[in-house]
Amino acid sequence: MGATTVKVKKLKSEELKDIVTTVRKSLAIEAEVLGEHWRECGGIKVCLLSFEKYYFRNGSYANLSMMFMEANGVQTVDCIGSGGGNGLLNLSWGANRNFARLGYEELLKLGFEEDKEELEKLSLVDPVE
């Protein structure tokens, strides 16, 4: 089993709450929403959104955690697809990568772009391609 991380960013163009609502509704078609948690401190807004999806190909559940953050006029989202492993070797057969891609594609539709600088810092993380 492993994890796939995607980082995206864009300049603030709409309220973070509206972005979270749009992503939540869109991904709820594919997966179950496990939780939505908001925090605000010093003008920084953060929302943690978590999903779970069953993958028939490997007979297990995968998780997608999305951390939305807005600070200094920039909105960023970290998408982490994890779990999905099954069997003696705990192989996910790409379930976590697929789940991270679903979140990533929804964010691209909303005008986000891949944050390559942040991804380079995560040299051990498997990028979504």
pLDDT digits (tens, 9 = 90+) for 40-94: 999 999 999 999 888 776 567 788 899 999 998 889 898 888 765 554 444 555 6
Domain carrying residue 64: 3-118
Q: Is residue 68, in this structure, part of any structural domain at all?
A: yes
Q: Is residue 46, in this structure, part of any structural domain at all?
A: yes
The total number of structural domains that make up the chain: 1
**89: CATH:** 3.40.1000
Q: Edge-to-edge strand order for the sheet containing 60-71?
A: 32-41, 44-55, 60-71, 74-83, 3-11, 113-114
Cα 58 from Cα 40, distance rounded (Å): 38
Q: Is residue 127, in this structure, part of any structural domain at all?
A: no
Q: pLDDT category, 119, cuts 50, 70, 90?
A: low
Q: Is residue 124, in this structure, part of any structural domain at all?
A: no
Q: Is residue 91, in this structure, part of any structural domain at all?
A: yes
Q: Is residue 94, in this structure, part of any structural domain at all?
A: yes
Quote the pLDDT of residue 121.
55
Contact 82, 62 (CB under 8 A): yes
pTM assigned to the model: 0.77
